[in-house]
Amino acid sequence: MTHRDAFNAALAHLVPQAHRMGVRAVELEPGRIACRVPLDGNGNHIGTMYAGVLFTVAEVLGGGICLPSFDLTRYYPVVRSVRIDFTKPARTDVVAEAALDGIEAIRTEVQAHGRADFTLNATLRDTTGIVVASTEGAYQLRAR
């Protein structure tokens, strides 16, 4: 089973609401994640994607990127804060993407101190490539 498949299967149990929204990883490898969420079933009163759905697809990136990047039998991620900027209405499915630099430094920090902070910036685009939102999330990797 790939990391992507494992994430998609686990999402149903770990974050059932995100799973019900249709959030699915389309790319997942060490230091890189992309998740897609459909417009269908996630609209608002003006026919665009509901802001909470955009927030959700961006927020789960922080946990998801940890699956292939760190030993989750020894560590677990938590979200500390997420700031979102909505730039355009989303009228199609959306893909949220993020990359994490400094994986080795994070590993070293969590091994030495039992926790390590990291920042994850995400870009959310519609299917035509238009940026509909961006986020900056503060996460922490903690020892079990």
- Record the tokens describing residue 34, joined without a space: 């992309």
Give the end-to-end CA distance of the chain in Å, rounded to a whole number.
24
- Is 25:95 a contact under the CB 8 Å cutoff? no
Specify the pLDDT at position 109. 98
Q: How far apart are CA 12 and CA 23, in angstroms?
A: 10
Specify the pLDDT at position 87. 98
Residue 109 dihedral angles phi and psi, to the nearest 5°: -65, -50
Other beta carbons less than 10 A from residue 115's beta carbon: 13
Specify the pLDDT at position 82. 98
Specify the pLDDT at position 121. 98
Specify the pLDDT at position 95. 98
pLDDT band of 48, cuts 50, 70, 90: very high
pLDDT band of 6, cuts 50, 70, 90: very high
Contacts of 142 (CB under 8 A, 6+ apart): 75, 76, 77, 78, 110, 114, 115
Residue with tokens 């020894």: 74
CATH classification of the domain holding 54: 3.10.129.10
State the pTM of this model.
0.96
- How many domains does one find in the chain? 1
pLDDT digits (tens, 9 = 90+) for 67-118: 999 999 999 999 999 999 999 999 999 999 999 999 999 999 999 999 999 9
Domain with 115 in it: 3-143
Mean residue pLDDT of the chain comes to 97
Specify the pLDDT at position 136. 98
The shares of helix, strand and coil residues in the chain, as percent rounded to the nearest 5, are: 35, 40, 30
